[in-house]
Chain A
């Protein structure tokens, strides 16, 4: 078992090392910026997976946190000339407040309300970002954001490190006792509640963690593209998070990373051919939902379990209680 666990850690470790080394091997700034955006989207996808994959609740306004993180950093540093640290604290506070309000209203009732409230809030903030010209700059956005680290390679390394930390943190969360409760909530919320767990508390907690991480992704993104614009709040971004997680495999964390890689490469390949690459994304998404609901990771898992089955001795006959 311990050997298996060690193996499990080798792959992510190798991945991180490879990611860190790439910019020093290839000098192409295109590769670096593509990898930067893949890593940032991975962080966003991981935050989404915490909700959908581990707790079984789908947010349809997850872009809300991403966009808020982006806009708050842009507004406070560009317009108000705040120091970056203060801006980051502000992002944290706002993400906590928003996610608390959402969870306060929706965790008591069916998950359906969470779906609808997140959808409605996301739409509201998107429309507000296009209308409140004085604060958000409307469709022109808020340009002139200073990156956290001016050097592109340096910024990329920062993003990779943050991705690794986020991944590690989420891995700890979902494998902690609290993580087991979350999975239990996903399987059967009522029964988990009857077992004496405070379902509301756990759901609130995970909604907040997820919101904060998504806000962090937004901060990193705005600091890499240097402008905050309304599309960062649009529900199409939520669809992209959903797509990455579903395509990669829900409830795996690394599935989000796989999904981010596939999606970003698809985007950069297709956006040269057609501006309507969202159409292809949408069609692929629907096909995956219809035919491969467990995603890429599900295929890996199936292969792995098949391998295991052949190695293991035949299981004992089940004893009925």
Chain B
């Protein structure tokens, strides 16, 4: 019973972390076809922005906003000056984002050094709640709630607003969207910034939980890639389900065989590519 409760809460919080990490990655890929390998580094910078806001203001909510807005602006600049000039050449775009990983990582090392910075959660999120026989840290529960809230907000944004309509249409039939006179460039810009902001928010939420250190980005991009493959390229709902699958799988495996956690994710990913290359939950068809 103990084990089950622990697995449910810890697995769920890990899943939500994966979701925050990968939803923006998936959104950008689905609409623009850009596989942004530097997404993990954006996440890492989100941690640092949040850390800075925490140091200067000490306000938890401002910290989350700083992560999201800071990385959103970074995404805006990146799309305008690095992604757009390549005019849709996807290979070069991937190569560029891969190179950007090292620029962002090295900049972080210059600015903050290689040590890990810890941020403590606000008082009302410290300590733990007793669930049955098990004590679950409050911050884990906050992460789960935050993940679900962001999922709902994003779903509403995609389903109920005009921007969401255009994004969904752009994922399904990009040419048609352009043909009916919508400025696709502007939509790309907004989506890219939004996707990056999600990474930044994810980093800000993760910072009291895992701290801020430079190699977070290269560690986490692995999980983002796996979620996108399992959930289906560009499917927002798919990335939510895939985060749940991979989060639980990774937690359960690491509970019993700690050293095989990453390998389990890789194996799930490879099996999905072999048998359902479009992902378990649909998503964009292979061109």
Instruction: Report which A residues bind B (CB closer than 8 A).
Output: 56, 58, 60, 105-106, 108-110, 112-113, 115-117, 119-121, 123-124, 127-128, 131-132, 235-236, 239, 242-243, 246, 276, 278-279, 281-283, 285-286, 289-290, 293
| Shortest distance between the CB of A288 and any CB in chain B (Å) | 9
Give bound CA distance, A124 to B265, whole Å.
10
Complex CA–CA separation, A147 to B205 (angstroms): 49
Q: B102 to A281, Cβ gap below 8 A?
A: yes
Q: How large is the interface on B (under 10, 10 to 19, 20 to 34, 35 or more residues)?
A: 35 or more
CB closest chain-A residue, reference B93: A289
CB distance from B200 to the nearest CB of A (A): 21
Q: Which of A121, A235, A243 contacts B266 (CB 8 A)?
A: A121
Main secondary structure of the interface of A (DSSP, over half): helix
Find chain B residues with CB under 8 A from A121 CB: 266
Pairwise interchain contact B273-A120, C-beta atoms closer than 8 A: no
Cβ-closest chain A residue relative to B81? A290
Q: Are A283 and B270 in contact (CB under 8 A)?
A: no
A182 vs chain B, min Cβ distance (A): 16
Q: How far is the CA of A282 from the CA of B226 in the complex (A)?
A: 25
Min CB gap A199→B, angstroms: 15
User: Pick the contact of A239 from B85, B86, B98, B266 — CB < 8 Å?
Assistant: B98
Q: Please list the residues of chain B having a beta carbon within 8 angstroms of any beta carbon in chain A.
A: 35, 37, 82, 85-86, 89, 91-92, 94-96, 98-103, 105-107, 109-110, 218-219, 221-222, 225-226, 228-229, 233, 259, 262-263, 266, 269-270, 273-274, 277, 286-287
Whether the Cβ atoms of B95 and A242 lie closer than 8 Å is yes
Cross-interface CB contact of A132 among B37, B110, B259, cutoff 8 Å: B259
For the complex, what is the distance from the CA of A283 to the CA of B161, rounded to whole Å?
A: 38
Pairwise interchain contact A279-B106, C-beta atoms closer than 8 A = yes
Please determine whether B98 and A124 come into contact, CB atoms closer than 8 angstroms.
no
Most A-side CB within 10 Å, residue of B85, B218, B219, B226:
B218
Q: Which of B82, B91, B100, B269 contacts A56 (CB 8 A)?
A: B91
Asked if B82 and A105 make an inter-chain contact with CB atoms under 8 angstroms apart, the answer reads no
Contact status A276-B110, CB under 8 Å: yes
Q: Which residues of A contact B100 (CB under 8 A)?
A: 282, 286
Nearest-neighbor residue (CB-CB) of A291 within chain B: B85
Whether the Cβ atoms of B277 and A289 lie closer than 8 Å is: no
List, in ascending order, chain A residues with CB within 8 A of B270's CB. Answer: 105, 117
Which chain B residues border A112 with CB–CB below 8 Å?
35, 233
Chain B contacts for A131, CB-based, 8 A: 259
In the complex, what residues of A have CB within 8 A of residue B225's CB?
A: 116, 119-120
Known contacts A119-B37, A119-B221, A242-B98, then 8 further A-B pairs from the complex at CB < 8 Å, ordered by chain A residue = A60-B94, A105-B274, A119-B222, A120-B226, A123-B221, A123-B222, A124-B222, A278-B106
The answer to whether B273 touches A109, judged by C-beta atoms less than 8 angstroms apart, is yes
Whether B95 and A108, one on each chain, are in contact in the complex, defined by CB atoms closer than 8 angstroms, is no
Q: In the complex, which residue of chain B has the Cβ closest to the Cβ of A126?
A: B218
Residues of B within 8 A of A109 (CB): 273, 277, 286
Neighbouring A residues of B98 by C-beta, 8 Å: 60, 239, 242
User: Which of B37, B86, B95, B110 contacts A246, CB < 8 Å?
Assistant: B95
